[in-house]
Amino acid sequence: MEKALTINPLSLGNVYTPSVSHANSFTHSSLPPSSLQVVGRLKDMGFSEAAARKALEDSNWDETAAVNALLSS
């Protein structure tokens, strides 16, 4: 019998939150892989990278809130 993999979200470490002073100076290399994936998913939906990043920054990197903001603009 295979054992199911269980991950404790608290063990994943710090979640990346950009500081205000760096909010407009992102480069691809300054984003952690998980953030790049979120930006990529929004780009796959047809939004520009700049719009995706702005919406994510404004929503504190909440993907659902960012998509809602982009769709309502």
In angstroms, the Cα distances linking 33 to 2, 36, 61, 73 are 29, 5, 13, 27
User: Which whole number is the average pLDDT over 12-39?
Assistant: 60
- Going along the chain from its start, the domains and CATH numbers come out as 30-73 (1.10.8)
Residue 63 near residue 38, CB atoms below 8 Å: yes
The tens digit of pLDDT for each residue in 45-71 reads 999 999 999 999 999 999 999 999 999
What's residue 73's pLDDT?
84
Q: List, in sequence order, the alpha helices (H) in 9-62.
A: 33-44, 49-58
| 15 pLDDT higher than 90 | no
Residue 52 near residue 43, CB atoms below 8 Å: yes
What's residue 18's pLDDT?
47
User: Which whole number is the average pLDDT over 32-52?
Assistant: 93
Other CB atoms within 10 Å distance of the CB of residue 42: 21
Residue 29, token pair as written in the block? 């290399």
